[in-house]
Amino acid sequence: MGRKEIEIAKALLDGRKTKILHSIQKEPKTIKEIAKEINIDQSRLYYHINKLLNLGLIQVEREELVGNMVQKYYISKQIQTPSFTFSREDLQDESEYIVSKLYQYSNEAISTIARDIEEQNEDHHAEGTIIQAKLSKEKWKQLNEKIRRLIEMTMDEEEGDVETKNFTYIIMSYTDEISK
């Protein structure tokens, strides 16, 4: 993965930036509208908006003159690759950040499952699955790729008028054998 792709992955792992992207996924909004929707002070949004603009993840849809100020409307661009697989080099260069984000996402998933169990929600908000499989290393890599493609294809199949929600998939797999 190149430097820009790593920066994009880091942005997509950042909670505030993903909230911004989800907020402007379907319709353009101003900083004020985004701030109100995601409950963040407007002054704290400018850094994140500029970072997302520089990475090409959002764009200015239009500008309107309000009084003597230009009001920009931002919209998120369609991301061609909504998932990232980190290589060994990426993990070495960004290990602390990536591992902390994996912990954050994993903890959020576990907390959501625990909350569903505790509150006995019939309409649950998370699922967990543990599957142990005996595979060759090549088949293991192929299976991981198939899982990623299946999620991407399923997203592409969603109908336009159907209400959708954002779901986070954390796909991690490992061998229980220590390599020599």
pLDDT tens digits along 10-42: 887 788 888 898 889 889 999 999 999 999 999
Q: Which fold has domain 3-76?
A: Arc Repressor Mutant, subunit A (1.10.10)
What span, in angstroms and rounded, lies between the C-alpha atoms of 57 and 26? 14
What span, in angstroms and rounded, lies between the C-alpha atoms of 17 and 11? 6
pLDDT tens digits along 116-161: 888 887 888 888 888 999 999 999 989 998 998 898 888 778 776 7
Label residue 45 by pLDDT band (50, 70, 90): very high
Task: Work out the angle between the directed axes of helices 31-38 and 42-54 (0-180°, nearest 10).
Answer: 110
Query: What is the pTM assigned to this prediction?
Result: 0.57
Provide Rg for the chain, Cα atoms. 19
Q: Which of 51-55, 93-97, 114-118 has the lowest mean pLDDT?
A: 93-97
Asked if pLDDT for residue 84 goes beyond 70, the answer is no
- What is each CA distance from 47 to 58, 65, 99, in whole angstroms? 13, 22, 24
Provide CATH 1.10.10.10 ranges for the chain.
3-76
